[in-house]
Amino acid sequence: MSRFRCKYIPQISLIDARITRQLYKNLKSIAVFNYWFQSLHGRRLSPRSLENSYYYAMLWTLQDQHTDFDAHQNVEIFALMKLAKADLRTRVTNPTAYDRLADKLVAMQLASKIQKNNAISLTDLEGVENNKSGYSFPFYGCVVDFEPSENQFEVLYNFGVVLQYIDDILDVYEDCQSGIATMANTLPIVAFEAFFNAKVELFIAQLKQVGVSQNCMVHSCICFAVGIVQIQRIKNLCSDLVNADYKSMSRIQLICDMTKFENLWAHYAIVVRLTKKSKFG
């Protein structure tokens, strides 16, 4: 990553503590994506593809953050984001697909601003969230060097959608404090649970139809179980499952600490249940 560091040194003062925290979070997510993607294809990523995925984490972070700065900083952050995007383009095997999906992601990011509108309908909200997250995974797929597998676009799109709703329920405190509407903080928790479980079941059915390995299926269930753990926690917190007021709850209450034994045990039990349910046959 030395070339990456040298090229971005002039703009490093723009990367403040908030962006650094978000980058670390996204790098952790990228590690999960890499592991899952390898299980989907049944082979390891090349060193170059791994490095490209780290570039993608930086681009992802800048794209999510740049609209939150004042006018002067925003211009600089946007310029840095364009530099990262152009640099990554030189490293991919299919620049045409990269350009098309990158443009689509920018369009979806702009469309997602409607999430700050309290009057947004559930239909519009779901559509915006689906596209914002869904297109990010086909884009990820053209950053790493693999030949496409059967129905890969749909598989990657739908995996991104499910992960978006996991992110929503994990970040319910931050999103409420920031005034960002999501399906997780708009629907009553029991309705969101049904909504999320339906998304998971549809995706598992798609994986079975495509014929992925059981290893890939297990890794998928490990990801999904984190969201289900958080849903269960919130249900236990809420005395009123229909009119829960997340804004009145503390961050400590709503954070899902997966280092705690009770959460780890719940996660294990959910993974076992989902894996048994998803077995081929």
pLDDT tens digits for 200-214?
999 999 999 999 999
Q: Do residues 108 and 238 share a domain?
A: no
Compute the C-alpha angle 78/68/136, nearest 5°: 65
Q: Of the residues 109, 129, 148, which one is the last residue of a structural domain?
A: 148
135 & 5 share domain:
yes
Shared-domain flag, residues 11 and 130: yes
Identify the domain containing residue 239 by its residue range: 153-281
Q: What is the Cα–Cα distance from 73 to 82, expressed in whole angstroms?
A: 14
- Which of 148, 177, 201 is a domain's end point? 148
- Out of 100, 123, 148, a domain closes at 148
Q: What pLDDT tens digit does each residue of the chain (281 aa) get?
A: 445 554 554 454 556 777 788 888 889 889 999 999 999 998 899 999 999 999 899 888 887 765 555 444 567 777 888 888 899 999 998 899 999 998 998 888 888 889 988 789 999 999 999 998 999 999 999 899 777 777 889 999 999 999 999 999 999 999 998 899 999 999 999 999 999 999 999 999 999 999 999 999 999 999 999 999 999 999 998 876 677 788 888 889 899 999 999 999 999 999 999 998 887 54
pTM (2 d.p.): 0.87
What separation in angstroms does the CA of 201 have from each of 152, 184, 195, 197, 204? 18, 18, 10, 6, 5
Report the amino acid identity of residue 57. A
Closest to 183 in 3D by CA, of 204, 201, 162, 203: 162
Same domain, 7 and 134: yes
Per-residue tokens: 24: 């670390």
Q: Residue 105: CB partners within 8 Å, gap ≥ 6?
A: 63, 135, 136, 139
What does the angle CA 276 – CA 278 – CA 281 come to, to the nearest 5 degrees?
A: 95
* Nearest CA-CA partner of 180 in 247, 86, 114: 114
User: Does 268 lie in the same domain as 129?
Assistant: no
Alpha-carbon separation of residue 47 from 27, 121, 154 (angstroms): 16, 44, 26
**Residues 37 and 123 placed together within one structural domain of the fold:** yes
| CA dihedral sign of residues 212, 216, 218, 220 | negative
- Whole-angstrom Cα distance, residue 5 to residue 279? 45
Same domain, 13 and 84: yes
Indicate if 143 and 120 belong to the same structural domain.
Answer: yes
Q: Are residues 42 and 139 in the same domain?
A: yes
**Structure-block tokens of residue 145:** 């060097």
Q: What angle do CA 164, 169, 173 make, to 5 degrees?
A: 120
Same domain (yes/no): 108, 55: yes
Cα–Cα distance between 174 and 193 in angstroms, integer? 19
Sign, Cα dihedral of 64, 67, 70, 74: positive
Quote the number of domains for the chain: 2
Three-state SS string across 85-105, please?
A: HHHHHCCCCCHHHHHHHHHHH
Residues 8 and 138 in one domain: yes
- Based on the domain organization, do 133 and 198 belong to the same domain? no
